[in-house]
Homo-oligomer: A and B are copies of this chain.
Amino acid sequence: MEAVMIIDILRRAKANVVVASVGDNLEILASRKVKLVADMLLDEAANLSYDLIVLPGGLGGAQAFANSDKLVNMLKKQAESNKPYGAICASPALVLEPHGLLKGKKATAFPAMCNKLSDQSFIDNRVVVDGNLITSRGPGTSMEFALGIVEKFFGRPKALELAKVMLFVH
């Protein structure tokens, strides 16, 4: 759900979104057996450079992300180059934190996993933007997370326009 919300909303903002699979198959079995098809495998996606790399959540997904050296290296390079990256739900705690990608940053995550974050001062926020890092809490905050990304890259008026058109706000 989080993946689809982010992909759909960023594409509405006219972002060029690449959906990559960390598995060896384009078909992704997401949370609750929702079946998605990626645009490319991570092996191919790793050859491109990105204005932003985002990790959706889901326990299975987050574990697969954490185990992908290729993805973790992409994220580390992104952070070292001072370029934006983000994660939601289980991923801030299971992927970013253990690989040092939250170091010195305010962040949030799925409530049951926030105890894994070394800095817990901002965990109660639904979306946290700290410099190049953007994090959020779970399925119910994924629209705000996606709109937060739209705001960061395309400005607040665009984010508010989408929120209205999509009926997220009245």
Which residues of A approach B to under 8 Å, CB–CB? 1, 4-5, 7-9, 11-12, 19, 27, 31-38, 111, 126, 137-141, 143, 163, 166-169
- Taking the closest CB of chain B, its distance from the CB of A131, in whole angstroms, is 24
**Nearest 4 pairs of A and B residues by beta carbon:** A140-B168, A35-B37, A140-B167, A11-B32
Of the candidates B27, B32, B143, B167, the one whose C-beta lies within 8 Å of that of A126 is B167
8 more CB-based (< 8 A) A-B contacts, given A111-B167, A126-B167, A139-B167: A1-B5, A7-B34, A8-B31, A19-B35, A36-B36, A138-B167, A140-B143, A140-B169
Query: Counting chain B CB atoms within 10 Å of each CB, which of A31, A32, A166, A167 scores highest?
Result: A167
Of the candidates B37, B140, B169, the one whose C-beta lies within 8 Å of that of A36 is B37
Known: A36-B35, A37-B35. A167 touches B8 (CB 8 A): no
**A111 surroundings in chain B (CB, below 8 A):** 167
Which chain B residue has the least Cβ–Cβ distance from A164?
A: B140
